[in-house]
Amino acid sequence: MKTLPPGATIGLLGGGQLARMVALAGRRLGYHFVVWDLDAACPAAPVADEVVMGDFHDETTAADFGSRVDRVTLEFENIPLATAERLERGPGLFPGSRVLATCQHRAREKQFLRAEGVPCAPFELVRSAADVAAGFHSIRSGRAVLKTTSLGYDGRGQVKVGSAAEAVEAWHSLETDEAVLEAWVDYRCECSVIVARGHDGRMEAFPMAENLHEDHILSVSGCPARVPEDIRRQGEEIACHLADALGVVGLLAVEMFFTSDGRLWVNEMAPRTHNSGHYTFDATHVSQFEQQVRAVTGMPLGDVTLRQPVVMVNLLGQLWVDQIEPDWTVVLEHPRARLDLYGKAEARPGRKMGHFCLFGHDDSEAGMARLWAEALELRQRLQPDAPGPDPSRA
């Protein structure tokens, strides 16, 4: 694939905060951006050259979008495969439709992991209530999670169950014709690795992040992860193996569980920049956002070395109590904090409105514990009445 030089135009499928940060990073390298989104006022709009509006199934919009760009990449994976394949045949889509088809469908994703010999939770593909009941007994777990095969993120489309009867009830509540029933994983922590892979097959894995979720939404990420060094290396090796096996050109985010018995199990993958990698904007030599631009354009990948320990805190819509803007001076006056707001007009509970990063100097387990505690205290000072993460879980 021919290298795409600065001055060319990159198309972004999706115009949310990830696209915004990709465009901000790419503009520093001299690239232009056209965003395809349903909303003309999407977060990426102020930093894009153009916004193309229309349904992602619409062939006319796809043709118009494709004619305006030199190469296309993803902001999110809920893109119709027919649209992805059309763009792949035109300006070129990276990561490609094969990667997208695998990562946007939980059953195909789990089957791919199993075929590659990558450890993941025992699972069964189910298509009826009878399948669900039989599957619950087959996976031999006292607890399980029933997940729709598509259109699931931030906890949507999944239900925790503790018996076959609960699993059948959950099946009916999801109103789907296909799902994955997955054994519950007892874990010490959740973590993730983001790997970039170029057209030439070269790969760079960002340092593993440790993640805390609240109500299924990422709340806090810290890097380095507080896990043994061999687990960090194993996570990077797994992420690189998966990116290579899929033939990714761009980024692949791999979410994992560090289990109670000391193993790594892969949970899911995303073929794009990822919320748990926001820390890279300020804490690594090259961010995940710039790295995506470098990878899809064929430019050399950058150095992903962590310059300093960091904890990233998501700022969700419930922080805006009664729609009152938090006092950002709390973060801005802190000498080791960086604030990023996404420019969204309306704050809603669970909506990702921004994040801040807090930097430290001590990457020991004790030093990271202090940094996590300091970051959560800083978040609480933003809006004392707003609900937030449970500090005991950090």
Each residue of 345-376: pLDDT tens digit? Answer: 899 999 999 999 999 999 999 999 999 999 99
pLDDT at res. 386: 55
Query: Which residue did the predictor score with more confidence, 122 or 386?
Result: 122
Closest CA to 154 of 104, 92, 79, 215: 215
Q: Is the separation of the CB atoms in 307 and 354 below 8 Å?
A: no
pLDDT in tens, 11-49: 999 999 999 999 999 999 999 999 999 999 999 999 999
Q: Spell out the alpha helix ranges (H) of the chain.
A: 17-28, 59-67, 81-89, 97-103, 106-115, 129-138, 164-174, 229-246, 280-283, 288-297, 329-332, 365-382
226: left (phi over 0), alpha (psi -120 to 50) or beta: beta
SS3 label, residue 300? coil
pLDDT at res. 354: 97
What would the CATH number be for the domain defined by 122-183? Answer: 3.30.1490.20
Q: Is the separation of the CB atoms in 97 and 86 below 8 Å?
A: no
pLDDT in tens, 289-310: 999 999 999 999 999 999 999 9
Q: So what's the architecture of 9-93 in CATH?
A: 3-Layer(aba) Sandwich (3.40)
pLDDT in tens, 83-115: 999 999 999 999 999 999 999 999 999 999 999
What are the residue boundaries of the structural domains of the chain, listed by start? 9-93, 122-183, 187-393
CB-based burial of residue 111 (10 Å sphere; 0-12 exposed, 13-18 middle, 19+ buried)? middle
d(CA 89, CA 368): 47
SS3 label, residue 78? coil
CB-based burial of residue 129 (10 Å sphere; 0-12 exposed, 13-18 middle, 19+ buried)? middle
pLDDT of 391 higher than 50: no
Which CATH number among 3.30.470.20, 3.60.20.10, 2.60.40.10, 3.40.140.10 corresponds to the domain 187-393? Answer: 3.30.470.20
pLDDT of 228 higher than 50: yes
Q: Is the separation of the CB atoms in 381 and 330 below 8 Å?
A: yes
Identify any residues that bridge with 217 across adjacent strands, giving them in sequence order: 214
d(CA 311, CA 219): 11
Phi, psi at 274, each rounded to 5°: -140, 150
CA distances to 67, 99, 235, 244, 367 from 190, in Å: 41, 23, 12, 23, 19
Is-above-0.85 flag for pTM? yes
d(CA 107, CA 300): 34
- The DSSP letter of residue 84 is H
Q: Is the separation of the CB atoms in 271 and 99 below 8 Å?
A: yes
375-380 contacts at long range (C-beta below 8 A, 24 or more positions apart): 375/220, 375/222, 375/311, 375/313, 376/220, 376/313, 378/313, 378/330, 378/331, 378/334, 378/337, 379/313, 379/315
- Tokens standing for residue 186: 């007892």
Closest CA to 128 of 166, 158, 168: 168
pLDDT at res. 154: 57
